Amino acid sequence: MTTFQGSLVALVTPFHDGRIDEPKVRELVEFHVKHGTDTLIPCGTTGESPTLSHDEHKHMVELVVEAAAGRIPVVAGTGSNSTTEAIDLTRHAERAGARGALVVNPYYNKPTQEGLYRHFRAVAESVAIPILVYNIQSRTAINVETDTLARLARDAKNVVGVKEASGSLDQMSQVIAACGPEFSVLSGDDNVTLPLMAIGGRGVVSVIANIVPREIVEMTHAALDGDWKRARELHYRLFPLARAAFLETNPIPIKEAMAMAGMLEPEFRLPMCRMSDANRERLRRVLEPYGLVR
C-alpha cells in the first residue's frame, strides 16, 4: 500500500467568471510537477470543495488526474457528512485514476466515535485505493479520537494515514504510538510540520506549498532524511508565511497571495470573499521578502 509522505499540496481551485478555470488548473499542475511536489490534493478545504457542485467536484478530480498524467500522484478530497455521498465521490476518484482519497470528518451532524468508525470503514471498503482520514475538529465539530483511528488502521487495511489538523502534538504523538510507524501522520497546519516530523510524522498537507512548493519539498525531505539543521532553517524561513496563510479563513489568504504573485485571479465563491484591505496589506508585507509580489 502506498506510503504518503513529504509535501502533499492542498491545491486551490482557480475560478474565472464563476467557473473552474481549466487552463489555470493545468498550469498549476505543471508548476507542481516542475518543482517536485510529492502529491497533489484537489477538492479539499483549500480547494473550496463546499461550494463545488458534485459535477464540478468530479470534473476537477478528472482534470487534475489528466493533467498530472501519471507524473505525480493525485489524492482526491472525497469527504462528506453523508456516507453515501462520500462513497460515491471516492469511487469516482478511483475510477478517474486518483492514487488515494482524503476523507474529511463528517461535519455538522456530529456522529459518535462508533459512527465515525463505521463511516470511514464503509468508505474504505467501497474502494481499493488508500484512504487518508482528514481530522479537523475546528471545521467539523468532531474529533476522530486516537482509539478510533487505531481501530480503523487495524480493521481497514487501506486506511493508511491521517491529515492531523488538531494542532495538538500531544494527540499526534498518541496517534503515532497507537497506529505504528507504517501509518502516515501528516500535518494539517504548515506551522507545525517540522515539530510533527520530529516526533515521527511523515510530512504535510500544505497550503503554502501552493506558492513555495520547492521549499516545502526541501524541508520535508530534509526531515525525512534526518537533516534537522537544514529542516530547521527552512522551517524558520517559512514560518512567517505559514502564519500569514491564516490571517483570514483558508483559502482566502493563499489565493490572495497567489494573485499578488501573478499566479491566478483572486476569485472566490460566496461565502468566501476577498480579503480585507488591512489584511491584504499585512499579507503583502510578509510576501515581499520572499520575492513573491509582482
State yes or no: is 163 an active-site residue: yes
C-alpha cell at 183: 501509518
Find where cell 478510533 sits.
Answer: 148
Q: Is 34 a catalytic residue?
A: no
Cell digits for 48?
A: 473550496
**CA–CA dist 143, 265 (Å, integer):** 34
Q: How far is CA 244 from CA 154, 218, 271, in A?
A: 38, 20, 21
Separation between Cα atoms, residue 228 and residue 223, nearest integer Å: 6
Q: For the CA atoms of 56, 60, 62, 63, what is the dihedral angle to 10 degrees?
A: 130
Catalytic residue among 58, 117, 163, 255: 163
Contact indicator for 255, 266 with CB cutoff of 8 Å = yes
10 Å Cβ neighbour count for 115? 15
Q: Give me 148's grid cell.
A: 478510533
Which candidate, 95, 49, 96, 107, places its Cα nearest to that of 68? 96
The one catalytic residue in 58, 117, 134, 255 is: 134
- Catalytic sites, residue numbers: 134, 163
